[in-house]
Chain A
Amino acid sequence: MKMLTIDDSAVVRKIIGAAVEVLGHDCLEAESAQDALNLLDGPETIELIFLDWNMPGMNGLEFLKTIKKNDQFKHIPVVMVTTENMPESVIEAVRAGVSQYITKPFSIEELMKKIIDSLGGEVN
């Protein structure tokens, strides 16, 4: 299964990529929302997206709203991974269509549980 992590921090992309690989999946990386949109338009079929909120250019929430309006991508579950930890932010993201919400800092165990939950309990 192919997943996509979108974060302007290379370290966060590596952390998420490592967790995804442990669970037997592949993870593509995008350092901006625009790069992610280009990847989604490419040949790879993405089945889960990890999304940062605060990024230069298009932010995570704008990206989420964009793909949820697109018939081709709106079914892809999105896990928001962010330092935005205020209740109003979580509500806004849920209303916009995130499947899971994880706040930084997180442990690798928490992250893996969210991935498994997002896949309906399915692990390779």
Chain B
Amino acid sequence: MYNNYIIYGASIAIGSSLLQLFFPWWIVVFPCFALGVLKQKQNFLPIFLTGFISIGLLWGVYAAMIQIYTGSELSHRVAEMFQLPSNDFIGIISALIGGFTGGLSALCGALINWASKDLKPVERSSSSSE
């Protein structure tokens, strides 16, 4: 049953990475949010985790790739600036912040979907257009 989530997660990650080439970082909100809205079953935790893991992995893996490829001079400096013991923490924090944003956005989508079902049919049609 988790296959679906993997597919969703992968498509969010791919969609986000394409969007991120052209838009600022907060663009990741949209694919995650869309997942939450479109997903019919209301399991908040898996939806949050899908957003969280897909963006977290995307950011974390990309950051790690940059670190490995370049020798990560700058992330050492940034780690020192934030008074962190090692530059790996910077990669982890980046991943967490990306994941947090993705997870929350997906959750919001799901919540709005969920809230719309609680409303009366007349209002329902109006709210789904939001």
Chain A partners chain B: no
| Chain B interfacial positions (CB closer than 8 Å to A) | none
| Chain A interfacial positions (CB closer than 8 Å to B) | none
